[in-house]
């Protein structure tokens, strides 16, 4: 089984002295750029970070991160990290618009009764069929604005994506995941 690993993360909160309970090592709570993994990473003592900083956590030399401590869930986040989470997700969706527009262009059925598009808040069967028929007839969508323009009464596509990402982050028991790497099962 291969785990989906983020190479870069965005800092949600930096705790220079760590948690009240613990070794007192500098910790950052971070969100992965590609798979939206929530992680706690141990930061090198000489590093100072702020919310929104981008860090490399992939293989090889890391400038600020000593090691990845653990995968966490939304309930493990500090109050400040929780308050930053939606803002950071919104920013990431807007900065990677083409990736999410491609989702509308490539979304497929999950089963005979359910389509990936229907998992987005505000997208039911009617919008799903409108999107599928329009992309077949007029070609791929080019932007969120293009989707809104071509699909009548379509809820804001960026907002639907953001809401779905937040739902997947906040609920470990989501049956189908479109954007967020699944939680690590603890036995």
Domains within the chain, CATH numbers bracketed: 8-81 (2.40.50.140), 96-170 (1.10.150.280)
- Please enumerate in sequence order all residues whose Cβ is within 8 A of that of 45, keeping only pairs 6 or more positions apart, or say none: 26
At 112-121, the pLDDT tens digits run 999 999 999 9
In this prediction the pTM is 0.92
pLDDT digits (tens, 9 = 90+) for 67-110: 999 999 999 999 999 999 999 999 999 999 999 999 999 999 99
* Residue 183 reports pLDDT greater than 70: no
């Amino acid at each position: 089984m291969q785990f989906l690993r983020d190479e870069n993360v965005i800092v949600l909160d930096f705790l220079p002295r760590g948690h009240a309970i613990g070794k007192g090592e500098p910790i950052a709570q971070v969100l992965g750029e590609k798979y939206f993994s929530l992680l706690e990473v141990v930061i090198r003592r000489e590093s100072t970070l702020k919310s929104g900083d981008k860090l490399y956590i992939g293989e090889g030399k890391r400038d600020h991160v000593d090691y990845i401590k653990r995968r966490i869930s939304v309930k493990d986040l500090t109050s400040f990290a929780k308050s930053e989470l939606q803002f950071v997700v919104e920013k990431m969706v807007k900065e990677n618009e083409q990736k999410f527009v491609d989702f509308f262009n490539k979304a497929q059925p999950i089963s005979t009764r359910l389509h990936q598009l229907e998992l987005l808040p505000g997208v039911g069967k009617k919008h799903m069929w409108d999107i599928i028929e329009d992309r077949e007839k007029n070609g791929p969508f080019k932007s969120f604005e293009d989707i809104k323009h071509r699909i009548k009464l379509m809820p804001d596509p960026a907002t639907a994506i953001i809401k779905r990402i937040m739902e997947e982050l906040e609920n470990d028991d989501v049956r189908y995941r479109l954007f967020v790497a699944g939680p690590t099962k603890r036995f």
